[in-house]
Each structure stands twice: as C-alpha cells, then as structure tokens.
Amino acid sequence: MTTSTRGNSLARARLASAWLLALFAAGILVVAAFYKSGDPALFAEQITAHQVTPASWSNWLAFFFIAAEFILGAALIAFVWPRLSFALTILMMLGFIGVTAWAWHKGAIRDCGCFGRLIERGPREVIVEDAVVIAASLAGMWLTRGFQTRVWRQRLFALLLLPALALIAFGTVLPTDALIVGAGPGTKLGGLTVENVPVSIEEGRVLVALVGPDCPPCEEQLPELKRVAAERIVPTVVGVYAGKASEALVWRLRNQPNFPLGNAPERVLRQYYRRLPGAFLLEDGVVRKAWWGRLPAVEEVRRAAGGN
Amino acid sequence: MRLGERKEGPGPETGLSERNRGPSRRVCTSERAIVPEFTDAIRHSRAMVNSSHCSSTRGAGRPVARAALLAGALLLLGSAPAVAASGSTAPAPAATPAASGEPAWTENPGLILRLHHPQAPETETPAVPADDEYGEVFDSSDYQAMLLLPARSACAYVLEISSLKARAYARDLVVDAEGGLHVPAPENSTEAGTARADADGRLRLRHDGVEIFVEPAPPLIGFLTREELEARLPVYARRTIVYRPDPKMVALLRNEREKIEILAFFGSWCSDCKELLPALFATLDAAANPAFQVSCIGVDEDMKEPAELLSSYQVGATPTFLVLSDGIELGRISGEATRTVEADLVAILTQGSGGR
C-alpha cells in the first residue's frame, strides 16, 4: 500500500517534471513560430542567407518550419504523444544546430532572427539555446517512457491547433508590427544607420520615413510627408530608401522629396519594417511614435510631435 | 557651409577673393574658364604644398603649366574680355544666404561629382582615372536643386531636380575666400544644358566638351594613399583641416621615436569614417612626426573585400585603425574612439611600449 502510494507519487512527479520540460520546449517553439509568422518573408530571407538550401525553397521552408514549430509546440503543451513530440523537437533542433554551424563556419550569418528582432543573438547563442532544448527534450523522453496519451489531451491539442493555424494564415496582417519588429514607442533605434544623409537621426526630433522599391504607397503618400517637411512640423525629416544609393537617386529624381533621402541596404533596413512604407518619429534616437505600412498624415505628425 | 581647405590663410586666396568682389555679371564658359583654372590651380597646388596632403603636387603642377600656356595663348589671341570677366575687376560681392534669402547648401555625402575631361593629361595616381576630376555635390535647403562643385575646374553648376536643367557659374563666384558657398543670381550664369538621368542612377551633363556625372560614390576598395583618398573624396581633406586635436596628445605623439605603421580600414560609404579618419590625419599632421605612416584600406559595404586583408587582420567593422610596430599589432581603434582618436592612439602606444 505504502509502496504503491509512493510509486504513484513518484510517477506523478515524473510526469509533472516531464510536462514542465515540455512546456519549456513548447514555449521556445511557440514564441519563435509567433515571431516568424508575423513576418514569414523575413524568415525566408534568413533561410536564404544561411546558404544551405536553394533560394527558391526559402518561402516553402519558412512556412513549413513555422507550421512545424506551432504543431510541435501545441503537442508539447497538450502533452500528446510526448515521446514522439520530444523526439521530433530533438530532430528539429539538431537540424537547426547543423545549419547554423554550417552557415557560421562559412561566415554566411552573423546573427539570427529566429525571435524576430526581439532578441538579437549570434550563432553561438542559438546553438547553445538549441542544445538546451535538446537536453530538456531528452530528459522529457526519458521521463515519459510508458506514458499513454488520453483522449482529452488529443482534444486539447486539436483546440490549440486552431489559433496556430490562424496565426499561420493571418499573422502578417495582424497589427503586431511593434511587437514583431520590436521598435515600438520607447525603443532606441540604435542599430539603424542611415547612409548618405547629412544629418544624424540620433539627435533631436527626427521623422524617419522608410521607402523603397516596388512600393506604390510610398510615392502616393509622399505629398503628405513633403508637407510635413515644408511646414517644419518636426525639425528634421529624413527619408531612408531600402536599397542602393543609385536606386535612391533614381527615386529622388522621380519623386523629388523636399528632405534628404539616404539609403540603407535592404537586408539592414528590413529589420525595421514588415512592409513599406513606414515611419518613426524619433526623439534623440528613441521611437516616440511609429507608423506601420503607411506614411503619416500632417495632422498625425503634428499631434505626435506636439504632445510633449 | 564652409569649405575648410580654403582656410589656408592669406596669399593668392585673399587676392582672388578681393578681385572677385566684383562683376555684377560674370558668366562661365569654356573660354572664360581659362584664367580661373589657372588661378585655381595655383591655389590648389599651394594648398597641397602647405598642408602636405591632397593629391600629388606633381599632378597639380601640370595643370598650372598647361593653364598658363593656354591663358597666354588666349590673351595673345585677344580673349582679354573673357579673362577680365572671369577674374579681375569687379563690383558687387556675391550675395550671402543671410542677405538674400539664398538657400543654404548642404553637402550630399552620398553623391560624387565626376568630370571627364577628354584631353586631360595622365596622372600618376592609379586610384584617380587619368582624365577624371572629382568634386562635391551639395543640396539646396529644399532639396530641389544640386550645386555641383568641381575641385579645380572653373565652372560650378546648379542643377534643378524637377527639370534637370543646369546653369553654369564661375566657380570663384560660388566659393568665397573663406569657403562659404553663395550661388549668385541666375543672370550671373549661363545655361549649361539639360542633364540626363540614367536608369542605373547616374546623372549626366555635357557642358563645353566636358562630361559631368553625378553619381553615387562607388566604394573605394583596397590600398589607397591618403592623397588618392582626398582627391577622390574631398570631404576627408576638408574635415582634416577643421579638426583640432588635443595639443597635449599631439606633443606626446611628436616624441614617438619608434616607427609606427597605421593601417586605416575605412569605408568610403561609412559616415563614421568621415569623422574618424580626418581626425587621425589631422592628429598626425599636427604631430608632424615621420615615424608615423598611414595606409588607407577601403572596404566594401558587405565587409567582404578586400577579403585577404580583412581576414588576416580580423577586421569586422569600419573604421578600424590598426597600430603596428614591426608588423606586430600594438592595438586598434575600432568603430569609434574611446575618448578621442589622438588620446586612444597615445594610449595604444603607451601600452605597446610598456609591453615591448
């Protein structure tokens, strides 16, 4: 009797430990998938940058990994087929480690955007993190030996898949730019370097407008920005073109902005938007207000700048 | 806007400026370009000699001789009015921005001006193509016009962005003796044609047989002498002149006896480099110590070229100044100076000599 009770307690403790480990691994997977689902195009670019698979595969791989992470995360949270879930997690992490190490060795990557722009990590940190998830998953596999999945857990898993599918389908249009991009109000835009402008965006109050190629709204909404510059609603307006300096000059000649137009390589500027155009009102380099997917109207800038 | 290299003190500059307080109507054509080119070449070569930088005095000397010969020939041929028009007697000073509401001009750090003179003599500096002259591009305060200012030629141009129509001004009317920029009223100019915009992001204007290009500055890659760098990107020379290094640090650097080589990795596209590298040049100029030798190494935007140098010296950011003694690295200044360039340099040398 006593032995049986103790055995039950131990089994419960073992399962509880395994579930905590599952939640840990699931947390990593779901958060990563959430950020990737908000900007799968960026994730696809990051896959391309690793130079392991052909660039034409990147979009498909991006959606595959987003879906796989969500599904594995949901399975681990619901604790269905835990040994299989842990095993698949280990396989995925081993794959990530291999790809990261390969790209690192080739010098193809310097940082990893697996958590969007929220956490900037180098390949070393990514490998360590994945190794920790592998260790947790191995322990989880050992602790869940002989575990039988109950039906209610399968239903919970099915239920958890619904928001995951919704995020996969609609993640790009959800108004989560500030979260995904990680440049909401109060954020210091320290890493944004605008080349070829005679002003610093880190001093004073500056409206930074992001424009780029193949962006009809950038040109359609430009007149409002010109008014902002002409009426000096903020002391400095700076345009940043996502591309080469030569392309920026062509854009300038076509659209004739009345403010300086610099440029930044698209791979760099891409960290600051999900879609163009966009704008930040900065105060000494800190985001005071952000406009995502559009340029601000005069009155909006006036309000944002005036509310000091 | 001040052009630092014009602060060379009295002499021909002052004289030129006084002469230029002048004609209410002076225009710029190819004939009239002769004397300004002559005087400007003298001024340029003198500036080079005085400041011990910029492109070779040898290179600057040739235009002087050439311009003198041409000027003499034209005078003999009766071009005196043109000479007078472009340089000597003259009333009314050029309007200042404050006085006339003339727009202030801001340097456009991303564009360069290149003038292709088909018959120019060859230079011996390989980084500067034989027939090309470089200059700076400035934007008007409303960004609807560009001022194109060659380093030596007699003409400056104002280009309207909307129409791409250009007007030519006598350069010495646009730049005053102290380096201020003042674009006179249009009646002091001549039409210089209409520029064409290439699809690849380049403006091309042809004026009096000279091909004028406004284009994004291509990255300078590989070894360059300081003279070559300053010839291609005059902003480095301008900022060198205005930087004032700490005299105490300069005094310490002046006493350095060991031969020190500085490898300055920079990006011609990098804005921080335009601050730090001139600071280094100015510091070494002030120290006037031949023990220091600087080699500039241009790096591309992706930090991939020149691959061998970047990997062998493990350089991953610009600017990076490697301080070497007998090929051994004593230290480096990377990205930004901890205090100032001169103070960091002294610190590296102090630590380095302690370790030697």
Separation in Å, CA of A149 to nearest CA in chain B: 52
Across the interface, of A195, A249, A260, the residue whose CB is closest to B143 is: A260
- Chain B residues with beta carbon closer than 8 angstroms to that of A256: 143-144, 161-162
- Chain B residues with beta carbon closer than 8 angstroms to that of A225: none
* Phi, psi (deg, nearest 5) at residue A140: -60, -40
pLDDT of residue A145: 85
Q: Which chain A residue has the Cα nearest residue B303?
A: A107
User: Cβ of B201 and A245 within 8 Å?
Assistant: yes
User: Cβ of A248 and B201 within 8 Å?
Assistant: yes
- Chain B residues with beta carbon closer than 8 angstroms to that of A253: 161, 164, 197, 203
Q: From residue A306, how far is each of A186, A207, A284, A298, A299 by CA, in Å?
A: 17, 13, 16, 12, 10
Interface test with B, best of A193, A226, A246, A267 (most B CBs within 10 A): A246
To which H or E segment does residue B193 belong?
strand B190-194
Using alpha carbons only, give the angle B14, B17, B18 rounded to the nearest 5 degrees.
85
pLDDT one digit per residue (tens) for chain B, 356 residues? 444 333 333 332 222 233 333 333 444 543 333 333 333 333 333 333 233 222 222 233 333 333 343 334 433 333 333 333 333 323 333 333 434 455 588 888 788 899 887 765 555 544 444 567 888 899 999 999 999 998 888 889 999 999 999 999 998 888 877 767 888 888 889 999 999 998 888 999 999 888 999 998 778 889 998 888 887 777 788 788 888 999 999 999 998 888 999 999 998 877 778 889 999 999 999 999 999 999 999 998 777 888 888 888 888 778 899 999 988 889 888 877 888 999 999 999 988 654 33
pLDDT of residue B237: 84
Strand order in the sheet with A278-283: A261-264, A236-242, A205-211, A278-283, A286-292
Q: Which residues does A5 contact at the CB level (< 8 Å), separation at least 6?
A: none
- Chain A residues with beta carbon closer than 8 angstroms to that of B200: 246
Q: Which chain A residue has the Cα nearest residue B304?
A: A107
- Chain A residues with beta carbon closer than 8 angstroms to that of B217: 245
pLDDT of residue B70: 39
pLDDT of residue B316: 76
DSSP at B120: P
Positions in chain A whose pLDDT score sits under 50: 110-116, 118, 308
pLDDT of residue B7: 30
User: Cβ of A248 and B110 within 8 Å?
Assistant: yes
Q: Which chain B residue has the Cα nearest residue A262?
A: B110
Distance CA B225, CA A284 (A): 37
User: Cβ of B143 and A257 within 8 Å?
Assistant: yes
- Chain A residues with beta carbon closer than 8 angstroms to that of B301: 265
- Chain A residues with beta carbon closer than 8 angstroms to that of B269: 195-196, 245
Using alpha carbons only, give the angle B296, B298, B303 rounded to the nearest 5 degrees.
135
Tell me whether strands B105-116 and A261-264 are parallel, antiparallel or unpaired: unpaired
pTM to 2 decimal places: 0.63
pLDDT of residue A108: 55
Across the interface, of A195, A256, A263, the residue whose CB is closest to B161 is: A256
pLDDT of residue A197: 80
Assess contact for B338 and B349: CB atoms under 8 A. Answer: no
Q: Which chain A residue has the Cα nearest residue B273?
A: A195
- Chain B residues with beta carbon closer than 8 angstroms to that of A257: 143
Amino acid at B329: E
Separation in Å, CA of B272 to nearest CA in chain A: 10
User: Cβ of B201 and A260 within 8 Å?
Assistant: no
User: Cβ of A256 and B271 within 8 Å?
Assistant: no
Assess contact for B138 and B156: CB atoms under 8 A. Answer: no
Q: Which chain A residue has the Cα nearest residue B195?
A: A253
User: Cβ of A263 and B215 within 8 Å?
Assistant: no
Interface test with B, best of A202, A249, A263 (most B CBs within 10 A): A249
To which H or E segment does residue A306 belong?
helix A298-306
Separation in Å, CA of B257 to nearest CA in chain A: 39
pLDDT of residue A120: 57
pLDDT single digits (tens) A26-35: 999 999 999 8
Separation in Å, CA of B141 to nearest CA in chain A: 8
Separation in Å, CA of B311 to nearest CA in chain A: 11
Interface test with B, best of A104, A195, A261 (most B CBs within 10 A): A195
Domains of chain A: 3-174 (no CATH), 181-304 (3.40.30.10)
User: Cβ of A196 and B108 within 8 Å?
Assistant: yes
Domains of chain B: 18-216 (no CATH), 222-351 (3.40.30.10)
The interface pTM score, or ipTM, of the predicted complex is 0.71
pLDDT of residue B196: 93
Separation in Å, CA of B14 to nearest CA in chain A: 29
